[in-house]
């Protein structure tokens, strides 16, 4: 039996015959035409023909405009039609179709045969925890801020202050590119010196995700240059370069450090209810499949807000053990295709008063990621990191932040500044 990848679309139209629309998609994106073909040619082309799996029509609720009429359409695409890579699959299922009116790709399921071409995250959530030696709590990450135009001494000082506050990971700002003031190898050298100094004081290991940038065909060598300089993690703007580039970097045996995926450019693709690709596919399934060990995405709480249900959908596909179990259309497979889980990193506008919400929604398997919530602490950057660690400790112990703050001045100052979001 043939194997298929399944695409689910949400298609809006006031008057369309959605079943006819579904057939048009299934045929148009595979063999191009069907009814005009001679019977002998139909037999030959059958294995290439897309299949309509489901059409679920939703009429507008009372009071809603007719423009809110939509259908969720599921189409199965034969694996034989495309090569085993993410660009080929995306062009097949949504390339031309993405320009065909109000239609959004809301889910994408991969056949076992397609998934077999992907190793997934090299380290994953468990591997990152193993590198840091932290298995009993959420991780804490901080972000470089105000980096453009700064020289190495200022960068080193900012790194040290973050590390001394008790964070587990520090990442470059995604807009920090190769430049004469803070070149990659020198930046790694001074930051790792600062990390060593902080580790002697805190006893904590630390990962520094250095931003991997440059022309696409030089990225692998740039990553290896960073590793030779001592880098122990990479930050990568996946959507600017492409999922296939992430997969190539992750699959390279010489790039043996975790890769953190940044969501830059994602806002051009997922937020509209009528167009683009859903966040759970764009920042969840595809990132994990392509090999991201950690995935950043906008949180439901802070300054760049993503709806909570979309956040939880990303979390589910990053952490679930069996991405291929719901691909029941086509050939069954008993092959063990489990990919390592990717660490979810909800981001943007995070302060200590949000920690209980983050842990409520994500549990312990999350990276709490902060920029201004650390650097903007009224008692300084070190106190900013400490306040987050205190908020995490309090939440894990079932103590309210206000009660815990009575004996922890760093947390109290943070609450006085940003409050607590219930």
pLDDT reported for residue 152: 85
Q: Which residues contact 136 (CB under 8 A, 6 or more apart)?
A: 364
* Integer CA distances (angstroms), 190 to 56, 117, 170, 225, in order: 57, 39, 14, 16
Q: Find out whether 346 and 366 touch, Cβ atoms under 8 Å.
A: yes
Between 145 and 355, name the one with better pLDDT. 355
Q: Which residues contact 183 (CB under 8 A, 6 or more apart)?
A: none
CATH 2.60.120.260 fits 4-109, yes or no: no
Q: Which residues contact 96 (CB under 8 A, 6 or more apart)?
A: 28, 29
Give me the residue label for tokens 């004081």: 201
Question: If you average pLDDT over residues 147-168, what whole number do you get?
Answer: 87
Q: pLDDT of 337-381, one tens digit each?
A: 679 999 999 998 899 999 999 999 999 999 999 999 999 999 999
**Among the CATH numbers 3.50.50.60, 3.20.20.110, 3.30.70.1450, 2.60.40.10, which is that of 124-418?**
3.20.20.110
Q: How confident is the model at residue 326 (pLDDT cuts 50, 70, 90)?
A: very low
Q: pLDDT of 215-233, one tens digit each?
A: 999 999 999 999 999 999 9
Residue 24 dihedral angles phi and psi, to the nearest 5°: -60, -40
Question: If you average pLDDT over residues 119-134, what whole number do you get?
Answer: 96
Q: How confident is the model at residue 328 (pLDDT cuts 50, 70, 90)?
A: very low
Give the range among 168-177, 231-240, 243-252, 327-336 with minimum mean pLDDT: 327-336
Judged against a pLDDT cut of 80, whether residue 1 lies above it is answered with: no
* Integer CA distances (angstroms), 176 to 12, 152, 153, 168, 212, in order: 40, 13, 16, 20, 9
pLDDT reported for residue 144: 83
pLDDT reported for residue 8: 96
Torsion over CA: 392, 394, 397, 402 (sign): negative
Element (H, E) at 415: helix 409-418
Q: In angstroms, what is the C-alpha Rg of the chain? A: 24
pLDDT reported for residue 33: 64
* Integer CA distances (angstroms), 401 to 167, 270, 386, 396, 404, in order: 19, 34, 13, 11, 5
* Whole-angstrom distance, CA of residue 76 vs CA of residue 330: 9
pLDDT reported for residue 184: 82
pLDDT reported for residue 292: 98
Average pLDDT, the chain: 90
DSSP for 293-328, written as a single string? SEEEEE-SSSSS---HHHHHHHHHHHH-S-TTTT--
Q: Which residues contact 329 (CB under 8 A, 6 or more apart)?
A: 4, 6, 51, 53, 76
Give me the residue label for tokens 């991969």: 110
pLDDT reported for residue 322: 59
Judged against a pLDDT cut of 70, whether residue 185 lies above it is answered with: yes
Q: How many CB atoms lie within 10 A of CB 149?
A: 9
pLDDT reported for residue 155: 86
pLDDT reported for residue 331: 52
Element (H, E) at 287: helix 286-290
Q: How confident is the model at residue 34 (pLDDT cuts 50, 70, 90)?
A: low
**What residues are labeled active site?**
96
* Integer CA distances (angstroms), 356 to 294, 300, 301, in order: 21, 13, 11
| Domain ranges across the chain | 4-109, 124-418
Residues in the chain: 422
Judged against a pLDDT cut of 50, whether residue 78 lies above it is answered with: yes
């Amino acid at each position: 039996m043939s194997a298929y990848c399944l695409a689910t679309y949400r298609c809006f139209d006031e008057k369309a015959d959605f079943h006819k629309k579904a057939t048009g998609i299934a045929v148009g994106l595979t063999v191009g035409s069907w009814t005009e073909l001679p019977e002998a040619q139909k037999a030959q082309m059958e294995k290439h023909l897309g299949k309509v799996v489901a059409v679920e029509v939703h009429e507008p609720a009372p009071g809603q405009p007719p423009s809110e009429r939509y259908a969720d359409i599921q189409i199965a695409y034969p694996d034989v039609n495309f090569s085993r890579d993410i660009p080929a699959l995306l062009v097949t299922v949504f390339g031309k179709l993405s320009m065909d009116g109000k239609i959004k790709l809301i889910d994408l399921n991969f056949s076992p045969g397609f998934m077999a071409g992907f190793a997934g995250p090299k380290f994953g959530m468990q591997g990152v925890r193993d590198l840091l030696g932290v298995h009993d709590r959420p991780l804490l990450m901080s972000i470089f801020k105000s980096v453009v135009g700064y020289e190495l001494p200022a960068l080193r000082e900012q790194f040290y202050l973050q590390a001394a506050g008790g964070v587990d990971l520090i990442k470059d700002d995604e807009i920090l590119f190769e430049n004469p003031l803070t070149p990659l190898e020198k930046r790694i050298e001074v930051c790792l010196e600062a990390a060593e100094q902080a580790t002697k004081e805190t006893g904590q290991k630390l990962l520094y995700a250095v931003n991997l940038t440059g022309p696409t065909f030089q990225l692998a060598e740039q990553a290896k240059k960073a590793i030779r300089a001592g880098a122990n993690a990479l930050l990568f703007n996946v959507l600017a370069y492409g999922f296939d580039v992430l997969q190539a970097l992750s699959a390279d045996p010489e790039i043996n450090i975790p890769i953190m995926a940044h969501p830059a450019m994602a806002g051009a693709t997922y937020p509209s209810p009528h167009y683009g690709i859903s966040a759970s596919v764009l920042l969840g399934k595809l990132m994990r499949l392509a090999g991201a060990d950690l995935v950043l995405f906008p949180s439901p709480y802070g300054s760049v807000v993503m709806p909570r249900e979309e956040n939880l959908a990303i979390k589910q596909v990053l952490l679930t053990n069996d991405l291929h179990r719901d691909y029941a259309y086509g050939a069954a497979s008993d092959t063990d295709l489990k990919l390592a889980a990717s660490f979810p990193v909800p981001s943007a506008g995070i302060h200590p008063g949000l920690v209980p919400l983050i842990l409520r929604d994500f549990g312990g398997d999350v990276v709490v990621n902060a920029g201004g919530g650390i650097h903007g602490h009224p008692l300084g950057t070190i106190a900013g990191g400490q306040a987050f660690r205190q908020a995490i400790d309090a939440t894990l112990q079932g103590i309210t932040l206000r009660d815990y703050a009575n004996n922890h001045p760093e947390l109290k100052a943070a609450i006085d500044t940003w409050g607590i979001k219930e």
